[in-house]
Copies of this chain bind each other. A is one copy, B any other.
Amino acid sequence: MLTFVCPDQPGIVHAVSGAIVAAAGNITESQQFSSADTGRFFMRLQVQTAASRDELAATILPVAEHYDLDWALDEVGRPIRTLILGSTAQHCVNDLLFRQRAGQLPIDVPLIMANHDNLRPLAEFYGVPFRSQAVTGAEQKAAFERAVVEAVEEHDIELVVLARYMQILSPELCAFLEGRAINIHHSFLPGFKGANPYRQAHARGVKLIGATAHFVTSDLDEGPIIEQNVVRVDHSNTPAELIAIGQDEESLTLRQAVRWFAEHRVLLDGQRTIIFR
């Protein structure tokens, strides 16, 4: 799997495909996009080859330098090392672990961290180490965030998933995790930012509720959107019912975003994402 981003210019596809031919590779999947907004060119390729990763990389390197490619090379299906942050809600974590174990989500989860203990039995059932640590004041919050940073480094974490973690991350942690932390927000952003979106949705009387998976940035609920889904509701649904109804959309939306990230299908184009589904 090869992804790259570069200034848009003629000849890139030919040059890259030439490098792949030189490495005796066969392109099995290919997607590209030229952004009119940023003038950048995005491409994702899946290549079948007998060459090793290093050999392939060596063949691509000169092309990458010539065309100023920002590129990544990975083995298709390699599980991404993922740290899950949770709180009390179980549905998103349950969905991620169930799918991971079923072989439908290419992630490895060496650790789940939470600010409550509720998730422990679920983590134990799936055999995932679990650590909980209360976050009730500024000091505890700083301690929790330090523990996150340490876990990221200790376990070579590539992706941090906020599976209804419900705490606002500090700007420092947001910066540290930039481009590798995904949050699930339980509304159809940009509607109903902030706390209690289902209560807001009920008060506003919307006819569809939704969920949004986005990259975490220090600008709360404003990070680049990766995936969104909605489901129909009506006047008879109480805020409590909206919460129950919305759980499927949250689980599904977060899982899709995590899968696409793990498959290197998510590329950043300024404040927007390119999704090569």
Contacts and interface: CB of A to CB of B under 8 A. Distances in A.
A33 interface: yes
Interface centre among A28, A204, A205, A252 (most CB of B within 10 A): A205
A7 to B, nearest CB: 13
Given A14-B18, A235-B33, A94 B98 contact: yes
A31 interface: yes
Contacts of A34: 28
Contacts of A203: 271-272
Interface string A239-277: 000001001100010000000000000000101111101
26 contacts: A13-B17, A14-B17, A28-B34, A30-B30, A33-B235, A35-B235, A91-B102, A94-B94, A104-B247, A188-B188, A191-B191, A203-B271, A204-B225, A204-B271, A205-B224, A205-B225, A205-B271, A205-B273, A206-B225, A206-B228, A207-B226, A207-B227, A235-B269, A235-B272, A235-B274, A248-B252
Give the top 5 A-B pairs by smallest Cβ distance, nearest first: A205-B272, A14-B17, A191-B191, A10-B26, A207-B228
